[in-house]
Amino acid sequence: MNKKYSWSQVVQPDGIGSGNFTSLAGSVERASTVTFSNVKSLRTRNWQDKSQYSYGLLGTPTTRRLERKLALIEGGQQCILLPSGLAAISLVLLALLKSGDRVLLPHNTYEPASEVARFMQANYGVELAFYDPLDILSILMTANTKLLWVETPGSVTMEVSDLPALANLAHKNNALVAIDATWAAGIALDVFALGADISIQALTKYQSGGSDVMMGSIVTRDDVINLMLLETHVRLGLGVSPEDCNIVLRSLPHYKLRYQAQDLAAREVATWLSKHPSVMQLLHPAFLGSPGHEVWQRDFTGAASLFSVVFQPYITQLQIDACLDEMKLFRIGYSWGGAVSLVVPFEMNQLHAHHSYKGHLVRFYVGLEDAVDLIEDINQSFKSLM
């Protein structure tokens, strides 16, 4: 990782306090109306300049503090905040594609992202093609291909793709590269150094860390790309709550530690699962045999505590469902990144993964409980499978 910042900059307060009151806690600056000292300053205020303020929707000091820290973490220059990770995905697609343009998405992408692309194909004449994230040579670039979407590892099936090779291919054909890098969370993959133009994060996950905030971010390091995104952002009337930004700002200094600790715990749980006779395959990028493991080893500096397990084909969905119902610490639910461990069963036919597995799949999220307790919880729930 060759980012030119230290984590200390993420931890240190930025722009907090004024006059004879200074503290380490950020205040929540709320606004619809922003006042101007005179008419001239109202007329000359530039909404695109993030050192100025002109209307609540366009940001307050609280939202700007979060934007600066997120751009810093990812090694970018600009950041736009959105009310969810999905809104960040939609904004990138809407801002960069018009009728007649073509977008490439990997088969294994976050399913709601491919739904947005399908919507734009059906309603706005955007061409859409899916590619195999493990077979770059099979990708067909065309003159109208404007955007290559990357998500690595892919949602649920966890294939790791070769970002530098994908970026090289896109840039040779004058296409931009957007990456949904939520799994790496700005910590485990240096997306800009590896060739991405746009980085998307669901801050709903590790960055907020409490299973209580929905937010997304788009980080760039090019003024022209940023302006295209910013103009569409303003036209759609998108904004985020400064209260929510403050919650994320409070979690941000310790999310790297959580990420690293949860990575270790998840590898313990995954190791135990990989040895269980009911498990056919472990889909965790840090483990040998997981698709794209070699690329993970080359490009990543860590792993999220989110992975999947494919059960032996003779184990039925009913058996797996009963098993998940027996779990006490692992709760059943979507999303991840909070303190509590989670499981979700996925059916292969719900997924557009290129690599289909014969057995049923369960996605595990390891939270902050002790790994031994989590393993014991899985062990007791698996009794019915034996």
Ligand X SMILES: *Cc1c(COP(=O)(O)O)cnc(C)c1O
Q: Which parts of this chain interact with ligand X (CB under 6 A)?
A: 84-86, 110, 151, 155, 180, 182, 202, 204-205, 214, 216, 335
Say if strands 216-220 and 78-82 run parallel, antiparallel, or are unpaired.
antiparallel
Tell me whether residue 182 or residue 251 sits nearer to ligand X (CB atom).
182
d(CA 124, CA 108): 23
- Min separation Cβ 197 and ligand X, Å: 18
Tell me whether residue 128 or residue 202 sits nearer to ligand X (CB atom).
202
- Min separation Cβ 363 and ligand X, Å: 10
d(CA 1, CA 3): 6
- Min separation Cβ 358 and ligand X, Å: 25
Tell me whether residue 270 or residue 306 sits nearer to ligand X (CB atom).
306
Q: Which residue is nearest to ligand X (CB)?
A: 85
- Min separation Cβ 108 and ligand X, Å: 10
Tell me whether residue 155 or residue 262 sits nearer to ligand X (CB atom).
155
- Min separation Cβ 214 and ligand X, Å: 5
Tell me whether residue 307 or residue 382 sits nearer to ligand X (CB atom).
307
Query: Within a 10 A sphere around the Cβ of 127, how many other Cβ atoms?
Result: 18
Tell me whether residue 53 or residue 330 sits nearer to ligand X (CB atom).
330
- Min separation Cβ 248 and ligand X, Å: 12
CA dihedral 219, 224, 227, 229 (to 10 degrees): -60
Cβ neighbors of 299 (< 8 A, separation 6 or more) are 160, 162, 163, 164, 189, 194
- Min separation Cβ 45 and ligand X, Å: 31
Tell me whether residue 198 or residue 202 sits nearer to ligand X (CB atom).
202
- Min separation Cβ 129 and ligand X, Å: 20
Tell me whether residue 53 or residue 307 sits nearer to ligand X (CB atom).
307
Query: Within a 10 A sphere around the Cβ of 92, how many other Cβ atoms?
Result: 29
d(CA 271, CA 269): 5
Say if strands 306-311 and 279-283 run parallel, antiparallel, or are unpaired.
antiparallel
Tell me whether residue 248 or residue 323 sits nearer to ligand X (CB atom).
248
d(CA 153, CA 303): 10
Say which DSSP state 296 is in.
H
For residues 27 and 65, is the Cβ–Cβ distance under 8 A? no
Say which DSSP state 50 is in.
T
Cβ contacts of 281-285, under 8 Å, gap ≥ 24:
281/309, 281/310, 281/357, 281/359, 282/307, 282/308, 282/309, 282/310, 283/157, 283/158, 283/307, 283/308, 283/309, 283/310, 283/361, 284/158, 284/308, 285/153, 285/158, 285/160
- Min separation Cβ 162 and ligand X, Å: 18
Give the side-chain half-sphere CA count within 13 A for 36. Answer: 13
